[in-house]
Amino acid sequence: MVNAARLRWITRAVVAWGCVVVLRLVQVQVIDHRAWESESVRQCEHTLEVEEPRGEIVSRDGRVLAGSLERVTVYANPRQIPRDAWSAVAARLAPLIEQTAPVILAQLRTHDGFFYLAKGLDPQIADAVDKLRQRGVGTLRTERRIYPHGSLAGPVVGYVNVDGDGQAGLEAFYDRTLRGLPSVYRVLRDGKTSPTFLDLRLETEGRPGQSLVLSLDCRIQQVVEQELARTIADTGAKGASAVVMNPNDGELLAVGSLPSYDPGHLGQSSSEDRRNRAAEDALEPGSTFKPIIVAAAMSSGVLDASEMVDCSGGGVQIANVFIHDHASYGFLSVREVLAKSSNTGAIRIALRLGTNQLDETIRRMGFGQPTRVELPAETRGIYRGPQSWSALSRAGLAIGQEISTTPLQLAQAYAAIANGGLIVHPRLVLETHDRSGKPVAPYKPQTGTRVLPADVAVRLATMLEAVVEEGTGKAADVAGYRVAGKTGTAQRAHSGGYSAGRHVAWFAGFLPMPSPSVVMVVCVDEPVSNYWAADVAAPAFGRIAARIMTLLGLQPTNGTSA
């Protein structure tokens, strides 16, 4: 009786256990089938991403500034190679990958599984390696980034790291566009989870990167860099930058920044060389800011273009501080205030403006905010606004102090004067193409935003001609063309004050008048032999302008030969 009861209990336990097993099998094989299948695949298979060719960076005149050279990588897996064959394999591989047999043998002994034996090799090596028919050895397609024009526009183009990731300039800003999507391959693992590469299957086809077509003209870029180099050599300057832009659509024809660097040879450059001064250097603009003050006053109706301004006394007293002028001029027309760069005249015009009137014009002209150019390290400059102003602030702004700007920001503001009062943002990329050359993001013309009344912009542009014709900007003159612009000499601001002996020389202008198609800003940082903008920046502007007028095919506008 007891045995029968025990038997029934055991039977029930076995049946219950069987039910549990069956239910578990149903759960594993039916309900959780997909999850366990995925786990099996994860253990047995491995995915490998292979980058597709990176897109090119091409100038508007068809020069490749950044491209990709097809290369191959040789891999090895010692677990798939019989140990007694290692020496023979090393000897056969040595002449193909330009390594010695002992070095290859040492790597086979050091690595426990799959590893890259050599990278960046000629594509022809792939066929030679395949002909070895050696299990555990193979090749993968890779690429190497090249910069055919070396340091030309280096700080604009930028560079990639060893993994092909964009690190600066356009390479970084458009990294996702340029790199495309990698191809994904599925690789079987052996019992020890090492990739066998016996079954390399394409899982997901990638997409090559898209190419950028730039607004830059390599001919103009070269002229700019040559003339900046000459200026640095002549003056002993720390550095120099220049921007050449179409004022009507914002297209940047050249962005020069010296010292420069070759993105293909980073080890030969310093971090200072890699900075794009045109976008990253925020410096006080000095007297190049005076036209902005005049624009604000004329737009607000507190200044008439034909009136005379009292510039007597050799300066002006503001809040117990006497701000000196270059001379005691007496009464000057607004045109003469700009031509002679009178501090007194600019300050007295600024004092007519209400706080909001001046602040609104400065902000509308783009100061204190990024230009939205396609460069990742662009600075917004410094403009603190009325909440931080002191009794001296309006006078300081009138002569280009208490504000800092980049060459790109200043070019954007002067473009608004040149084109009749519209802000257009600087742009470097015109459009993107796929690998076949078909536009992916086609060119779209930029429409400007009005920031100055058209009549004010036209009158101001005419006044700036006097700076070149008879004022401080005579050295910026270009024979045969009407040029407008403004000089600016500023001290280097440092720790709430100014550094003695450290200056910045500016010239900002446009040509040919009366319908300018080029706006240009030249900035020379810390010249030594001579720091006055009239002697340093204006001549550089004139030399660059004279050369690019010919390149652009612009005919002389004043009836004389260029």
Q: What is the per-residue pLDDT for 425?
A: 97
What is the pLDDT averaged over residues 129-145? 87
What does the pLDDT look like over 92-119, one tens digit per residue? 999 999 899 999 999 999 998 888 898 8
Is residue 23 packed enough to be buried (19+ CB in 10 Å), middle (13-18) or exposed (0-12)?
Answer: exposed
Query: Does a structural domain hold residue 28?
Result: no
Q: What is the per-residue pLDDT for 119?
A: 85
Query: Does a structural domain hold residue 27?
Result: no
Residue whose pair of structure tokens reads 């009836």 in the numeric block: 559
Check which CATH number belongs to the domain holding 296 and give it.
3.40.710.10
Q: Where are the beta strands (DSSP E) in 308-442?
A: 308-311, 315-318, 321-324, 330-333, 422-423, 429-433, 439-441
Residues in a beta bridge with 166:
160
* Lowest mean per-residue pLDDT among 35-44, 311-320, 325-334, 344-353: 35-44
What does the pLDDT look like over 165-188, one tens digit per residue? 999 999 999 999 999 887 776 666
What does the pLDDT look like over 526-556, one tens digit per residue? 999 899 999 999 999 999 999 999 999 998 9
What is the pLDDT averaged over residues 506-532? 96
Question: What H or E segment, with its residue span, contains residue 40?
Answer: helix 33-44
Contact present, 41 and 34 (Cβ < 8 Å): no
Residue 503: how many other CB atoms lie within 10 Å:
23
Residue 43: how many other CB atoms lie within 10 Å:
11
Task: State the average pLDDT for the chain.
Answer: 90
Query: Same structural domain for residues 148 and 280?
Result: no
Q: Is 42 helix (H, G, I), strand (E, B) or coil?
A: helix
Contact present, 272 and 370 (Cβ < 8 Å): no
Query: Does a structural domain hold residue 435?
Result: no
- Cα 397 to Cα 403: distance, rounded to the nearest angstrom: 7
Return the amino acid letter for 100.
T
Q: Provide the residue range defining the domain that includes 164.
A: 43-78+116-130+137-184+208-214
- Cα 376 to Cα 385: distance, rounded to the nearest angstrom: 25
Query: Same structural domain for residues 390 and 461?
Result: yes
What does the pLDDT look like over 234-280, one tens digit per residue? 999 999 999 999 999 999 999 999 999 999 999 899 989 999 999 99
Q: What is the per-residue pLDDT for 345?
A: 97
Contact present, 244 and 253 (Cβ < 8 Å): yes
Written as six digits, the tokens of 372 are 């939205």
Domain end (from 172, 198, 214)? 214
CA distance between the termini of the chain:
126
What is the pLDDT averaged over residues 359-380? 96
Percent of the residues in the chain that have a pLDDT greater than 90, as a whole number: 70
Query: Does a structural domain hold residue 60?
Result: yes
Query: Does a structural domain hold residue 50?
Result: yes
pLDDT at 369 over 90: yes
Query: Does a structural domain hold residue 200?
Result: no
Query: Same structural domain for residues 253 and 331?
Result: yes
Query: Same structural domain for residues 222 and 180?
Result: no
- Cα 123 to Cα 525: distance, rounded to the nearest angstrom: 46
- Cα 484 to Cα 508: distance, rounded to the nearest angstrom: 9
Q: What is the per-residue pLDDT for 562?
A: 34
> Does residue 140 or residue 508 have the better pLDDT?
508
Could you check whether the bond before residue 195 is cis, i.e. omega within 30 degrees of 0?
A: no
Listed in sequence order, the residues at least 6 apart from 66 whose beta carbon sits closer than 8 Å to its beta carbon are 56, 57, 145, 146, 147, 157, 170, 171, 263
Domain count across the chain: 2
What does the pLDDT look like over 197-215, one tens digit per residue? 445 566 677 788 999 999 9
Query: Same structural domain for residues 173 and 222?
Result: no
How many CA atoms are closer than 13 Å to the CA of 19, on its beta-carbon side? 5
Phi, psi dihedrals of residue 501, rounded to the nearest 5°:
80, 0
Q: Is 203 helix (H, G, I), strand (E, B) or coil?
A: strand
Residue 142: how many other CB atoms lie within 10 Å:
20
Alpha helices in 98-236 (DSSP H): 101-110, 124-132, 154-157, 169-173, 175-179, 218-235
Query: Model confidence at 19, in pLDDT bands (50, 70, 90)?
Result: confident
Check which CATH number belongs to the domain holding 159 and give it.
3.90.1310.10
Taking the CA atoms of 294, 299, 302 and 306 in sequence, report the sign of the dihedral they define: positive
> Does residue 60 or residue 319 have the better pLDDT?
60
Residues in a beta bridge with 484:
510
